[in-house]
């Protein structure tokens, strides 16, 4: 009887492991403006574990909430050392970092060894109703983002939701997106953590003083 129970437990564990392995899948990302670069990455499974190999093949691990914003512009949560090999495939020139804390030493070493410039715009991550998004800081970050000499660039804060979402939202206004589309994008990344104050900030953000800046957006090239 005990042998039968042990056999069933072993079978269950093996079945669970196979199911978890199947949850690791490849994601292909094509960047047409940067030498037709194609990336193969993994996603996290429900238990938070990351599969770094499938059939013996090394796979890249993107940062939390990673996504492409436009040609040469990306967004994500805070990159961990396990994400460095993935970031290398992007050929980054710059990182826009929106948290007030100093950049970790391991991340600084990664930037130095890959010739990546860090633009640090410290914005406090308070929760509602104490959210205070500095208008002037967002404007300075937008100037860096608009400068094609800084591309490819990735924007990130801690989770890639609120501060990153505000900057990308203001960027979308410069692209002449309607507010409903801007808010829809913000909510997809913020999910249940979406903040009315963030969306209000984006809605009231005045882009008139920035219209003179060059706009190297992909939609203008169509």
Catalytically annotated residues: 157
CA distance 156 to 170: 15
Which position has the token pair 């997809």?
A: 188
CA distance 90 to 186: 23
Strand segments, DSSP code E, in 11-124 are 27-31, 37-41, 53-54, 57-58, 67-70, 73-76, 94-97, 117-120
* Paired tokens of 190: 């913020």
Q: Residues 6 or more apart from 39 whose CB is under 8 A from it?
A: 27, 28, 29, 31, 60, 86, 89, 90
* Paired tokens of 90: 């992007």
Helix axis angle, 162-174 relative to 196-204, nearest 10°?
30
Q: Evaluate whether 161 touches 193 at the Cβ level (below 8 Å).
A: yes
């Amino acid at each position: 009887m005990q042998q039968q129970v042990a056999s069933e437990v072993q079978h269950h564990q093996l079945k669970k492991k196979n199911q978890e392995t199947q949850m690791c899948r490849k994601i292909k990302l094509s960047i047409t403006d940067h030498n037709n670069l194609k990336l193969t990455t993994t996603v996290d499974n429900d238990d938070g574990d990351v599969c770094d190999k499938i059939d013996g093949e090394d796979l890249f691990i993107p940062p939390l909430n990673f996504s492409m914003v436009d040609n040469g512009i990306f967004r994500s949560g805070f990159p961990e050392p396990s994400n460095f090999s993935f970031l290398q495939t992007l050929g980054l020139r710059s990182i826009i970092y929106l948290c007030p804390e100093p950049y970790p030493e391991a991340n600084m070493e990664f930037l130095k060894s890959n010739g990546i410039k860090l633009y640090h715009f410290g914005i406090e991550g308070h929760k509602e109703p104490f959210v205070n998004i500095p208008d002037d800081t967002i404007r300075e970050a937008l100037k860096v983002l608009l400068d094609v000499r800084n591309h490819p660039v990735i924007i990130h804060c801690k989770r890639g939701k609120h501060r990153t979402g505000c900057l990308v939202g203001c960027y979308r206004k410069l692209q002449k997106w309607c507010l409903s589309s801007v808010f829809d994008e913000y909510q997809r990344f913020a999910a249940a953590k979406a903040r009315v104050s963030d969306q209000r900030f984006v809605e009231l953000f005045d882009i008139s003083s920035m219209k003179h800046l060059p706009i190297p957006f992909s939609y203008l090239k169509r």
